[in-house]
Structure 1
């Protein structure tokens, strides 16, 4: 295998993004680039120079339609709950089939088809009160963590340190056995999926990606994602979609997002090395 440079990873990620944009437009689906990808748009007009992935978010109904379309697409490989039996993430990844990756995580449970990818996150309706949001988050997050702990390959001991992983194998084993007794990863995946639709997005005042709704930057007005709140922007020379309220999100999430971080923090935070097959 040949290791990919950061520039090659970014180029392949942009190719996936452009492909997704074409499919979404053809099927009247709305998405927005999000998280660090939005910083890249506003500060660099493309990728953050040291970043290695692209993030999209979509309201749950459009997300489900897109995943259904991609499930039968042969150009790229879809990884999601819908088509991978033991997939660890509650969001979808669209993967370049000519690439693969190696994770630095001990006892990792990455899908064997993983390669250079674009993340596609669903936004779900959530309660209006902070208390309700926190309670809902805690329930959904426990389902997600239980799913990951029971997926296999001693995933309950996953760590970025060999020694921490070995300690976790001992310390967390009773918890693993307790959770597994109630159900395997498919059981907990189902519990999570049922919970996500408790507050239908069409009638919810607020929304978010459920893993983050306990944080002050993880809750958004659903009105930000109304059909008329998307616009075309230029990312690395390509026309794609973004929400009009992106500056409000970036200030909420990152504060002074136009300020470069210290040199020591100008590195990717993903534990992957990418290769051409």
Structure 2
């Protein structure tokens, strides 16, 4: 396989985003470039220079509509619980089919067809009371960890073979205990069913449920009713009008560059053309 340079990975991911943007416009769906992608758009007018990440978020109703549309198309490969068995993430990935990503983790549990991707995150409703949000977040995190830990040997994932082997031995009894209650599909269904407990249409707060235990993972739902377009790599994509509020919440003084030793990607993959 031919390895890909960072600039090639960025271009392929950008092409996927352009494709998603086109479909959303054709179907009157709202999305927002978000997380580090939004930071890159505001601070660099494109990718953060040392990263290749593209994330978008969508309120659950528009997310479900987009996923239904993408599942019927074959331009790219949609990875999510509806299209793949034993899918380990709580969000969807739209993948370039001509590329392959090889994880640096042992027992990583990645889909064998994983390639360069754009992450698509659903935002779900939350209760108003911070104590109830914490309680809900702990419940959802328990289900997430349990479905991850009953998926083959993913409970032993690590960056070194030695650590992975130690985890396989030390954490195996916990996996066996979980499996007595239910397998991966059992815990996955617990997570998916519980994610719809608070309808987004009647919730004042929202977030991607994997992140709501963190203060920067809970947002006013009203943020996602008012959108603007912002420049990213010479194109214009949709994001929330309240982008400054979000970036300040997540990154503080977000226009300030991190120290040189922190200017590196946290991705776990090497990219190749098939």
Q: What is the CA-CA distance between 1:163 and the residue it aligns to?
A: 1.9
1:99-248 equivalence runs, <5 A: 99-152=99-152, 154-226=153-225, 229-248=226-245
Q: What is the CA-CA distance between 1:115 and the residue it aligns to?
A: 0.5
Q: What is the CA-CA distance between 1:183 and the residue it aligns to?
A: 1.2
Partner residue, 1:91: 91
Structure 1 distance, partners of 2:28, 2:82, is 21
Q: What is the CA-CA distance between 1:257 and the residue it aligns to?
A: 0.8
Q: What is the CA-CA distance between 1:263 and the residue it aligns to?
A: 1.1
* 2:65 counterpart of 1:68: no
Q: What is the CA-CA distance between 1:24 and the residue it aligns to?
A: 0.5
Structure 2 distance, partners of 1:37, 1:233, is 11
Partner residue, 2:254: 257
Q: What is the CA-CA distance between 1:161 and the residue it aligns to?
A: 2.3
- What is the DSSP-based 3-state SS (H/G/I as helix, E as strand, rest coil) of the residue aligned with 1:217? helix
Q: What is the CA-CA distance between 1:214 and the residue it aligns to?
A: 1.0
Alignment gaps of 5+ in structure 1: none
Q: TM-score, normalised by structure 2?
A: 0.98
Task: Please tell me the root mean square deviation across aligned C-alpha atoms, in Å.
Answer: 0.8
Whether the 8 Å CA contact 2:90–2:210 is kept in 1: the answer is no
Deviation readout 1:216-250 (Å, 9 max, x if unpaired): 11110000001xx1112221111210100011000
Q: TM-score, normalised by structure 1?
A: 0.97
Alignment gaps of 5+ in structure 2: none
Structure 2 distance, partners of 1:19, 1:110, is 24
Partner residue, 1:80: 80
Q: What is the CA-CA distance between 1:72 and the residue it aligns to?
A: 1.1
- What is the DSSP-based 3-state SS (H/G/I as helix, E as strand, rest coil) of the residue aligned with 2:215? coil
Deviates more, 1:256-265 or 1:12-21: 256-265
Structure 2 distance, partners of 1:63, 1:178, is 35
**Runs of 4+ in structure 1 over 6 Å off:** none
Deviation readout 1:34-82 (Å, 9 max, x if unpaired): 0000110000000001112200000011111100100011110000011
Q: What is the CA-CA distance between 1:129 and the residue it aligns to?
A: 1.3
